[in-house]
Amino acid sequence: MGSREEILARLRSAAVPARELPEARRFGERSADLRARFAQSLTDAGGRCVPLPSAEALPAALEQLAPYRDGRRIASLVPGVPRANVRVDEIADPHDLRDVDLAIVPGELGVAENGAVWFTDRGLRHRVLPWIAQHLALVVHAERLVNDMHEAYERIELGNGFGCFISGPSKTADIEQALVIGAHGPRSATVFLIG
Amino acid sequence: MSAHAERAALFLVDQPRSAWHDQAVWWVRQKRDRAASALPEWEELRDQASRIKAHALSRLADYLEEFERNATRWGARVHWARDAEEHNRIVHGILAERGVTRLVKSKSMLTEECHLNPYLIARGIEVIDTDLGERIVQLAKESPSHIVMPAIHKKKEEIGDLFHDKLGTPAGLSDPAKLTEAARAHLREKFLAAQAGLTGVNFAIAETGGVVVCTNEGNADLGASLPSLHVACMGVEKIVPRAKDLGVFLRLLARSATGQSVTAYTSHFHGPKPGGELHIVIVDHGRSKLLAREEFRRSLQCIRCGACMNTCPVYRRSGGHSYGVTVPGPIGSVLAPSVDPRKHAGLPFASSLCGSCTDVCPVKIDLHHQLLAWRSELSREGFAPRRKRLAAKIGALVLGSTWLYRLSGWLARRVVPRLPRALVYSRLNAWGRGRELPEMPRDSFRAQWRRRGQP
């Protein structure tokens, strides 16, 4: 008998009495002001939320962002970013993204309770982009905000590929629990919230 | 003394340091409390999480098959390992077949449990732990002392010395931000040079065939998505039935672990990256044995948040290394004896049975009841220390006989206070070590009760 069959047989022979799967449901209250709650949660997570009236306001808002203003290599998966100069899809080896100063990526959804943005690699060649870049900007539409993780999982589609809830910049507290921003991944995370 | 007690005594020699450790860990517990109390639905979430896990455990084989089917559909390769040895062999096989000599790892308690690192290193593979805390203990040639904060026992000055020695940072540097920056530069080189990345698994979704990995540093994502080869190792118990169940577990996990509302990155892997490979290794290593034991089954519900350690008065004061196992604290003391009862017989006694672990556990494992159940089982099997067995026997004898009970009460009240201090606090009395005995009352409880009963 192979390991697979043996393990499955052992688990079955444990004869655990049947326990019902509870119905999936959401818990907790709904927020009256999702934008404000999202911005606060993101701040708590070490990130920053910048509300914008419309997508047209993005280039001007980016000019206020130091990594955009001063960065040499900027990769954007969001169209209409004037200073984007790294074409991610034309790069064969993701290691060549090592000197990207700022990555600008679209987010499909924002979660008000924890400031997380759902990012996927749909149509993207190098899923490592948000982590290899020194700084990260995410663009999310405000109508795509949900209250909490329960609602988030009702909306997102899982399967074939990669998806990540990104909540703020990379961080660590492994040295005497002092919070340090910028462990391995992005040193800053800015979410542009549109609408 | 048990091995745990001996190592704890060593840890306690440096009193200011153990007090510092106690406070550092307690601070995390307080952060957890604030996060939990901010959610009015906290208890409902715990209840739901516990029920989902109990159900998943009751149909684990079915769910693992479903998971395998779906994961394979997305192009992942699923491997099965009966024990640590087979797990290590499989992982090495995957790496060796592809000529991998440089591996980056993110945190995985399972691979620690299996002692994968020394296995691979002995076979010529460079293994770099990339979680900062894990990298620190790896450079110091130690093991993690906590499952969430592996270097919680180390002071920043010691880490500064270590980095000076190993990474060439300036002597005397102890600023956490600067040390972290030095580690970032050092590890980025390792990420860029690695030919494969290995991660643990926080959750495996049966319904979709995906694995979910949570980190704050982003090291799992750099490790898994930069090289072409990603190996993910998981225990059989990591299964959740539905994607929606993650809404419950993710709301509980980070809040319980560090007081954050969610970790910085919650990554869902369904299949490899374009042109890459994803291998998932499913490991039993004693878990099926635990599953068959009704009284200990619930310990498999654990989501490895570490909250039971942070709240445990024994863990906080004795440090993670005193347990001598990969997973320390209350949950570790429940898991370890099932692997090796003789070696770890002392661990279920490393608890005051105060029940705080049970109270904070996000998946409602009845930890202190399980510790008690282990004590009686280990005593029955003859694994408990001789003195403990003797004390329990005497205790049973005294408590089982009215006159012996009264006599010993009388002795304690009348004779003990008159004995010379050197005798009462001698080596024979473990309860007199490091503390004063309470003042003996003049009368027995029975006498006091009789007096009260007559108004």
Each residue's pLDDT tens digit, B109-127: 999 999 999 999 999 999 9
Chain segment B5-44, per-residue pLDDT in tens: 999 999 999 999 999 999 999 999 999 999 999 999 999 9
Q: What is the pTM of this model?
A: 0.94
> Which of A20, A128, A158 comes nearest B221 by C-beta?
A128
When the pLDDT of each residue in chain A is averaged and rounded to a whole number, the result is 96
User: Could you give the angle at which helices B60-73 and B42-58 cross, rounded to 10 degrees?
Assistant: 90
What strand order describes the sheet that includes B77-81? Answer: B77-81, B277-283, B229-235, B196-199, B102-105, B126-129
Q: Does A23 touch chain B (CB under 8 A)?
A: no
Taking CA atoms, B177 is separated from A178, B79, B131, B137, in Å, by 8, 40, 15, 18
Q: Which distant-in-sequence residues (6+ apart) come within 8 Å of A84 by Cβ? A: A74, A75, A76, A104
Owning domain of residue B422: 401-453
Residues B208, B103 within the same domain: yes
**What is each CA distance from A78 to A133, A140, B160, in whole angstroms?**
15, 11, 41
A11 and B39: CB-CB below 8 Å? no
Tell me the two tokens of residue B190: 């390792």
Contact B282 A7 (CB under 8 A): yes
User: Do B412 and B271 share a domain, yes or no?
Assistant: no
Q: Which residues have C-beta within 8 Å of that of residue A145, sequence separation ≥ 6?
A: A34, A35, A38, A109, A110, A111, A112, A193
pLDDT the model gives residue B454? 65
Q: Residue B313 phi/psi, 5° resolution? A: -60, -30
Which among B221, B263, B290 is the top mutation candidate for probing chain A, defined by the most A β-carbons within 10 Å of its own β-carbon? B221
Q: Are residues B76 and B147 in the same domain?
A: yes
* Cβ–Cβ under 8 Å, residues A186 and A135: yes
Residue in A17, A27, A158 nearest the CB of B243: A158
pLDDT confidence bin for B388, thresholds 50/70/90: confident
Q: Does any domain span residue B42? A: no
Tell me, yes or no, if B250 comes closer than 8 A to chain A by beta carbon.
yes
- Residue B254 and residue B376 in one domain: no
Residue at B262 is within a domain: yes
Instruction: Note the pLDDT of residue B115.
Output: 96
**Chain A 152-171, CB below 8 Å of chain B: which residues?**
152-154, 158-171
How close does chain A come to B125, measured CA to CA in Å? 21
Are B68 and B149 in the same domain?
yes
pLDDT band, residue B255 (cuts 50/70/90): very high
Stretch B352-368: mean pLDDT, rounded?
98
Q: Does B453 touch chain A (CB under 8 A)?
A: no
Pair (B415, B335) in one structural domain: no
Select from A16, A164, A184 the Cβ nearest to the Cβ of B268.
Answer: A164
Q: Are residues B202 and B62 in the same domain?
A: yes
Q: Indicate whether B35 belongs to any domain.
A: no
Is A1's pLDDT higher than 80? no
Residue B163 lies in a domain: no
Q: Is B438 found in the same domain as B345?
A: no
- Structural domain count, chain B: 3
What mean pLDDT is predicted for residues A88-100? Answer: 96
Statement to judge: residues B274 and B248 lie in one domain: yes
Residues B233, B322 within the same domain: no
- Cβ distance of A165 and B266 shorter than 8 Å: yes
Cβ contact, residue pair A178, B177, below 8 Å: yes
The CATH number of A32-194 is 3.40.50.10420
Q: B24 and A125: CB-CB below 8 Å?
A: no
Model confidence band, residue B416 (pLDDT cutoffs 50, 70, 90): confident
Q: Are residues B203 and B277 in the same domain?
A: yes
Q: How far is A79 from chain B (nearest CA, A)?
A: 23
Residue B219 distance to chain A (closest CA, Å) = 6
Range with the lowest mean pLDDT among A58-62, A92-96, B373-377, B428-432?
A: B428-432
pLDDT > 90? residue B426: no
Domain finish residue from B386, B412, B445: B386
Q: What is the pLDDT of residue B417?
A: 87
Q: Indicate whether B317 and B437 sit together in one domain.
A: no
pLDDT reading at B455 higher than 90: no
Instruction: Look at residue B382 and tell me whether its pLDDT is greater than 90.
Output: no
Residue B64 domain-assigned (yes or no):
yes
Distance from C-alpha of B300 to C-alpha of B53, rounded to nearest angstrom: 8
Question: What band does B383 get if pLDDT is binned at 50, 70 and 90?
Answer: confident
Of B333, B358, B386, which residue is a domain's last?
A: B386
Return the SS3 of B21.
helix
Spatial distance between the Cα atoms of B455 and B452, rounded to a whole number of angstroms: 7
